[in-house]
Structure 1
Amino acid sequence: MEFAVADVPEKGRFEARDESGALAGVLTYQVTGQIVVFTHTEVDPAFEGRGVGSALARTALDDARARSRTVVPMCPFVSAWLDKHPAYESLVVRNTRRVK
């Protein structure tokens, strides 16, 4: 099954929809200047295990790359997805400071 993923900036999210137009999942974000923070990914239970989350993450990260944005992956799903896709590592901000 193919999912169409589109940016819906007025809602601050990417939406994945199936062929019938049903909302399969969303990835929310916040943009400040050239930094995009991915805050949450949610997939409708009826679509779990079909690659919706991955389609959302890939599209959102490709969009960030095309816009020369820096990515902050606060969402655990996006963070884990990035661990498995090192080609996107150059987009990601990694804080190496430790809080004492």
Structure 2
Amino acid sequence: MEYNILHNEAASRFEVVVEGLLSLVDYKEVNDTFVVTHTEVPKELEGRGIAAALTKVLLDFVRASGKKVRPVCPYTKAYLQRHPEYEDILV
């Protein structure tokens, strides 16, 4: 499923509203590295691939920006283990 994911730079996160509920992935930008700190999807929306979609958009943005990513969030760490194609941007 396609989601309308937005980059909310002011809040340092990527986010999407589905059925009136907010899902997000938070980061902190430190120098040229996006430190991914938290992924959140409401229980009512779990199992729909929203966290994966958010994470993919964030990682694609980081790559396109020529920056790196450091996962602190357990979900992001697991996603990166399942998707070795992002190894080139991993710190």
Shorter-chain TM-score category? over 0.9
C-alpha distance in 1 between matches for 2:30 and 2:13? 14
Q: 1:81 aligns to what? A: 79
Unmatched segments (≥5 aa) in structure 2 = none
**Structure whose CA Rg is larger:** 1
Q: Which stretches of structure 1, 4 residues or longer, exceed 4 Å deviation after superposition?
A: none
Unmatched segments (≥5 aa) in structure 1 = 94-100
RMSD of aligned C-alpha atoms?
1.2
Q: 2:59 aligns to what? A: 61
Q: 2:24 aligns to what? A: 26
Task: Report how far residue 17 of structure 1 moved.
Answer: 2.2
Q: 1:8 aligns to what? A: 8
Identity of aligned residues (%): 37
Q: Number of aligned residue pairs: give it.
A: 91
Question: Normalising by structure 1, what TM-score?
Answer: 0.85
Answer yes or no: is 1:37 the counterpart of 2:50. Answer: no
